[in-house]
Structure 1
């Protein structure tokens, strides 16, 4: 059981829209919500669940709105909150129409929001919450709503609620992106304090019918099961899948089998808490001249194989807040001063592996003190390396199985990019 009713309120507690799903709740109960909330704020009580008699309020705040679920039953709180956040996500999908979920958009698009609330839940039970399926039910033209011929939600008639039947394409293709972000923190003594890899596999599916896909990775656990321990593998941690993946199959034999949604989705995400050799290493030296000038030398070294190239590298070097009169010299790329951020941004469009480059910056310091440079922010780096994964994960195969037997082309692309990538300097 989820919620008996859903309310959307403004910051003053005025009801903008509501939907009573079960008809067994006094809708006037919502009047008690804001007084309870204000009292809790005075008492610094941050609990997201409140009660008035037998009625429970489960709520979230988004932008200038409160989304409140009311129930008198012993409901699954995690399910209710998941549903509330799904409403926010679903409404935001209709971006051309709503722009953003806020008070004004609710007022302007009252009918559409009400139709959405009507489709996502039935008699207190969540139904179709997938935005792509909902867009087939509800379409907009200007401020006019058109609802197609009545039909039961896909979750009732079809086990695959995330994909419609009868999809047809002239050319069948699957595009897969394996994207890894490197989070790194290096201290002033050049020691790595934190390193991790956060990965995701994203799909763009252009396939007719109801195909089944099977994905094979160089997963360490799978290779150990099959007695292939000598092969190059990765040990995936904190793996999360899209709802389309058959979890029982993965738990039994590590096979990733699924009927994909149409269009774009994130198939899975994973994390590797492993020591990562910094892909781009930064060294910085600062020389001060009688408190009136400062010279900064930054050396960047790419520590990956020469056959790979980092694109759109941006190195952000902090400078004193009162620096002025900048002069730059770079062995590659361009440097510019961003006074509003107190940084020098060194841009390198293409940085091949195994290379080293320098950037020299001169600044005037009209009022700097001797300790002005101490405790400065770290250097941050952003970059993207195509055709490369730092973990070594590989797509061994991507099989497409469809009853009609059509041919389909799978495309796989690997990308490594910077996440939270920081290097502290003296």
Structure 2
């Protein structure tokens, strides 16, 4: 358990500090010497014997999140320009979980960020009263108690007058909140809607690394089920999924994907992607690595009969998160892209891009964007293409890198499009030419979004809502979306 939680700026100067329990090792001096602990600055003593940092403190880089000094352990978490630090005198106590301490610090920072609109050193100094009240509610005697922002807003009604919209005060604001005395602490009582609806989104992000021959090297699926609840009363909701292999944690087989791709299409000439529809080896399947439920899910029901039952929070929340580690034979590329570079006479660069959609014809990918790396030394570019729009943009993270960006509003399944771009280069010698060709080794990055499609094959069979007291009729809505992750690339 934590004895003290302190917030400092990037120089290590204390903004606010909350002491939760008496610890003889942790004193005011333990807080004052934080700049020395973090950055090794020289420390001098003032006339009242308190430690004071030099005025010319230079912020450093926090390379070690756990620092020990004179028997005190400093757990440091950086959030924007604020350092959240938890002070403990022992890490061997059975009640101390290091990961839990860092998770709680992160949740405190997220709550502060919501209340202050943006958590930074300036806003924290201006609103330290709100911060202290939140710390008192979120932690008791060094133990984490509460971090749900919806529940905190019910009885921490002070607002940041500059940045946070006013929180509507409840009539029973002076009484203890009902969530503290009940078992459901994520939902208020007395919620009413004219039309009771539940919107469920199954969102899957595909990360994939593809070689120049169209073979999948690595792939994974990051999925989540999001729900927007607009239901009255205290409803009991049950969600049924058609793939029990996913929920039990066993290997799942992408039979639905195989069915979707029974209509085979010709691939790009130089590529030979894996055809999953004609091989029994595909039953290597996908292995579930992570499965995380929202706190509202009744885990006892899930463990007994593998059903997902819960009383939903009001509004938007994520019911389930999962990650599937896919073998190279179980998942084939949704979109293939071949890029060729041809340098003519040392002064003209020709780039040929061939794009192929590799999913069923009924599906349509929206907002397809191809990022092709090119040299940053060029002139008079020209483009020839039969679909979409093309332009050259600089990388936001590295201005020295340029990309040929090909945008297509939609891309139907089984389609094949081409792009030819020509760039004039300055006359160069052999050494400079080699330097300009480094971009041809960088991967091509693809972005896309396919509605009404899931890569893993997971499907919602039913969504049942039961509110015994009100007995209303509900209108459930289910939507499926597959999109590219941050790492969908084709290597050369």
Tell me the TM-score normalised to structure 1 length: 0.89
Q: Give 3-state SS (helix, strand or coil) of 1:273's partner.
A: strand
SS in structure 2 of the partner of residue 46 of structure 1:
coil
Partner of 1:132: 150
3-state DSSP of counterpart to 1:142: coil
CA contact (8 A) 2:288 2:325 kept: no
Matched, 1:315 2:370: yes
Other-structure match for 2:161: 142
Equivalent in the alignment of 2:455: 390
- State whether residues 128 and 155 of structure 1, in contact with CA within 8 Å, keep that contact through their aligned partners in structure 2: no
Q: Which position in structure 1 is the counterpart of 2:426?
A: 366
Q: 1:77 to 1:370 in 2, by over 3 A?
A: closer
- How does 1:244-283 map onto structure 2 within 5 Å? 244-274=296-326, 275=328, 276-283=331-338
Task: Give the Cα–Cα distance (whole angstroms) in 1 for the partners of residues 104 and 476 of structure 2.
Answer: 34
Distance 2:207 2:254 in 1: 28
SS in 1 for 2:437: coil
Which 5+ residue runs of structure 2 have no aligned equivalent? Answer: 42-58, 258-285
CA RMSD, Structure 1 to Structure 2 (Å): 2.9
Whether the 8 Å CA contact 1:48–1:60 is kept in 2: the answer is: no
8 A contact 1:322–1:367 mirrored in 2: no
Query: Taking structure 1 as reference, are residues 367 and 322 closer, same or farther at Cα in structure 2, changes over 3 Å only?
Result: farther
Query: Which whole-Å CA distance do the structure 1 matches of 2:246 and 2:388 have between them?
Result: 44
Contact 2:389/2:408 (8 A) holds in 1:
yes
Residue pair 1:184, 1:422 contacting (<8 A) in 2 also: yes
Where does residue 467 of structure 2 map in the other structure? 402
Task: Give the deviation of 1:204 after TM superposition.
Answer: 0.9
Conserved? CA contact 1:128–1:153, under 8 Å: no
Change (3 A) 1:367 1:116: farther
Instruction: Say which structure is richer in strand.
Output: 1
Residue 405 of structure 2 is aligned with which of 313, 332, 345?
345
Q: Distance in 2 between matches of 1:329 and 1:259?
A: 56
Match of 1:59 among 63, 71, 76: 76
CA 1:253–1:416: 2 relative to 1, 3 Å:
same
Taking a change above 3 Å as real, the CA distance of residues 213 and 51 of structure 1, as seen in their structure-2 partners, is farther
Q: TM-score, normalised by structure 2?
A: 0.78
Please give the secondary structure, in 2, of the residue aligned with 1:362.
Answer: strand
Q: Does 1:6 align with 2:24?
A: no
Q: What is the CA-CA distance between 1:56 and the residue it aligns to?
A: 3.5
| Unaligned runs of at least 5 residues, structure 1 | none
The answer to whether the 8 Å contact 2:452/2:481 transfers is: yes
Residues 1:123 and 2:189 aligned together: no
Q: Which residue pairs with 1:216 in the alignment?
A: 240
SS of the residue 2:134 aligns to: helix
Which string of whole-angstrom CA distances, capped at 9 and with x for unpartnered residues, describes residues 84-118 of structure 1?
Answer: 01101112223xxx232110110122222222112
Whole-angstrom distance in 2 between the partners of 1:3 and 1:166 = 37
Q: Please, which of 87, 97, 101 is the counterpart of residue 108 of structure 2?
A: 87
The offset of 1:173, in angstroms, is 1.0
Contact 1:172-1:207 at 8 Å conserved across structures:
yes
Determine whether 1:200 maps to 2:266: no
**1:17-166 alignment runs, 5 A limit:** 17-22=16-21, 26-39=27-40, 46-53=64-71, 55-72=72-89, 74=93, 75-94=96-115, 98-139=116-157, 140=159, 142=161, 149-152=173-176, 156-166=180-190
